[in-house]
Structure 1
Amino acid sequence: MRFGYKASAEQFSPNKLLQFAIEAEQGGFDSVFVSDHFQPWKHTDGHAPFAPAWMAAVLAKTERITLGTSVLTPTFRLHPSVVAHAFGTLGAMFPGRVILGVGTGEGLNEVPATGIEWPELKERSARLREAIKLIRQLWSEDRVSFEGQYYKTVNATIYDKPDEMVPIYIAAGGPLNAKFAGREGDGFICTSGKGASLYVDELLPNVAVGCQESTRADKPFERMIEVKVSFDTDAERALNDTRNWAALSLSAEEKHSVQDAEEMERLADQLPIERVAKRWIVSSDPEEHVAQIKTYMDYGFDHLVFHAPGTDQSRFLSLYAKEILPRLKALG
């Protein structure tokens, strides 16, 4: 059982975020995950650092924690060979401490940088499958000439790559991609707050089927979930902090086709606090808070990454290190 910290790259400057990652290691977290967004969820005071560059700085300043993306999209603005190059370098420099978390992407990040017409999920999923195949081939072979439906390389070689391939965790929000994550991934990523049925009846069972179908059936495999938590000794503060991430409460239909940060911010600002807070475990009582988190452990998740919405992340990390992590580790 591992417990991680979600670095809110959309909310804080890269330098502040670096300090929070260092504090997370000092506080006893096992991992730090960061999203690779070209644009943040909101335009006002938003941030969007390039994840591989930021990860390199964190890895150099820390000694123990695992760093990963949750998630990066290796299919549009980032060609799979560029992703293989970046994470091959990170894996070679910091062996055993890097995870490549990938997903099918959202228009907000991919359309402004490329001008593409945002495709349906079927094509995005097909691109992701092909990209993962190419990335692994570039890590394991020399002189790779790849001829896929979407990507092509000619005698491509990654010269500085890890001795062992960097684990690839695959994000999924539905049963088909969950099965693919189990079959082809080294781990599975999803997010909390969407109702028990999604996890118990759809996602985790299909991950299990995919693992059984995998040609690497004996591989290590983690079931990771980003748990949205707002914990503070001040209950009112814990509730109001969720407003900073109101965009998470927009439905997939409301946000996936949005391609502008200002429009995303406008839509999120219209949501009532009651709807915003539903995505979060909001609490001021440590025992109650841990009991709600334990639900996800009971489902079968074994790598929980905690995302806090507040502006004072140092306060959150300190409170979690004192009140929550020890209780969770005792359960784990």
Structure 2
Amino acid sequence: MATPTRKLGLTLPQRGAFFGVLTVPELVETGHFADESGAYDSVWIGDSLLAKPRPESIALFGSLAAVTRRVTLAVGCMASFPVRDPILLADQWATLDQISQGRMLLAVCTGIVKAKDASEREGALYGVTDKSRAGRLEENIEILRRLWTEDNVTFHGRYRSFENVTVLPKPVQNPPPIHIASNPNPAYGYERALRRVARLADGWMTTRKRPEYLTKLWPAIQGYLREEGRDPENFPVVAYHNVNINPDQDAAYEESYRFLGEYYGPVFTEEDTRYWTAAGSVEQVIAQINELYEAGATEVTLRITSWDWRRQLKLLTEEVAPAVRSAG
């Protein structure tokens, strides 16, 4: 059976707690609202320890798992994955999967942040270099899957070695899905990164900073999946996207650009913002989101890039989400 299409997620803007968008308790309340509304299939949060600080993901998931009953709870991406202890993380994630009754989805990435050597400085505290992050990501994926499905696990890798380890409780899912978030620039070499997705991941997550991040990279992944003997039709593709609903489209883009500047620092250009944001009237936003599905996304998760997030959440839930879902 092919992967269901047209899933829709809501991304909670954790770092907005640092610049007056919403409080940490409101993050939890919004997750509860998304679950109760029936408009969303999933609720997403981000993750980073020190490179891009935010309310910590595992702790936040504990609250979200307790106040939701239906939606998938997903992290995209877990940038701290290469520096976390995989045995502890396997235990934490299995417990969350038990609390949520099998609704956890882990999307991992290398978490490399070149600006101000942020990830190098973060990793130095754990003996993790940027150069080792990709290798650690691969190794940790294998460790988690084995600990979630086996007892008395012995593992000898390049970065971790242990003997006779059993993690209890086991998760409800057998095992929970692990996606890889990977966005190599299509203008440069991307084969290694995308082959990793095809070889190891249960799904792919992308941020479409340019159209070709979907239109070029997804066909490449499809080819690598076939080489691995895997069916692209059953492979989830999650587009992590922004949204700003405002009849004045230029004003919507301008606010999103300021919002992302506060959220990440001066990383994204105005052009990046326009490609990475569905902006404008309700009708314009619906059309732009539909383009993501048409380019190959099976799920789109949306973060509101506005300080007027309550009004926009109402519009997104009551007008945008139903139209997008019905179009599928």
Q: Normalization by structure 2: what TM-score?
A: 0.83
The structure 2 residue matched to 1:296, chosen from 280, 292, 295, is 292
Cα deviation for residue 311 of structure 1 reads 2.1
Cα deviation for residue 219 of structure 1 reads 9.4
1:10 equivalent in alignment to 2:19: no
Q: Secondary structure at the match of 1:159?
A: coil
Q: Residues of 1 paired with 2:163 and 2:27: CA distance?
A: 38
Cα deviation for residue 112 of structure 1 reads 3.2
CA RMSD in angstroms comes to: 2.6
Match of 1:324 in 2: 320
Counterpart amino acid of residue 66 in structure 1: T
Match of 1:253 in 2: none
Residue 72 to residue 61, structure 1, CA distance change in 2 (3 Å): same
Cα deviation for residue 191 of structure 1 reads 0.7
Q: Secondary structure at the match of 2:78?
A: coil
1:81 equivalent in alignment to 2:92: no
Match of 1:227 in 2: 241
The structure 1 residue matched to 2:166, chosen from 157, 164, 188, is 157
The structure 2 residue matched to 1:23, chosen from 20, 24, 33, is 33
| Cα pair 2:204 2:236 within 8 Å, conserved | yes
1:66 equivalent in alignment to 2:75: no
Q: After superposition, what is the alpha-carbon deviation per residue over 1:151-209, rounded to whole angstroms, capped at 9, x for unaligned?
A: 122221111012421111111113332232222211110112x22223212x2123213
The structure 2 residue matched to 1:119, chosen from 130, 144, 167, is 130
Match of 2:111 in 1: 105
For structure 1, the 5+ residue unaligned runs are 42-46, 249-263
Cα deviation for residue 281 of structure 1 reads 2.9
Q: Residues of 2 paired with 1:26 and 1:60: CA distance?
A: 13
Q: Residues of 2 paired with 1:218 and 1:287: CA distance?
A: 31
Identity %: 25
| Cα pair 1:111 1:117 within 8 Å, conserved | no
| Cα pair 2:14 2:54 within 8 Å, conserved | yes
The structure 1 residue matched to 2:58, chosen from 32, 52, 55, is 52
Match of 2:43 in 1: 32
Match of 1:197 in 2: 212
Q: Residues of 1 paired with 2:278 and 2:298: CA distance?
A: 21
| Cα pair 1:74 1:131 within 8 Å, conserved | no
Q: Normalization by structure 1: what TM-score?
A: 0.82
Residue 162 to residue 75, structure 1, CA distance change in 2 (3 Å): closer
| Cα pair 1:38 1:110 within 8 Å, conserved | no
Q: Secondary structure at the match of 1:278?
A: helix
| Cα pair 1:76 1:114 within 8 Å, conserved | no
In terms of mean alpha carbon deviation, does 212-221 or 24-33 score higher?
212-221
Count of residue correspondences? 304
In terms of mean alpha carbon deviation, does 170-179 or 296-305 score higher?
170-179
Q: Secondary structure at the match of 1:283?
A: strand
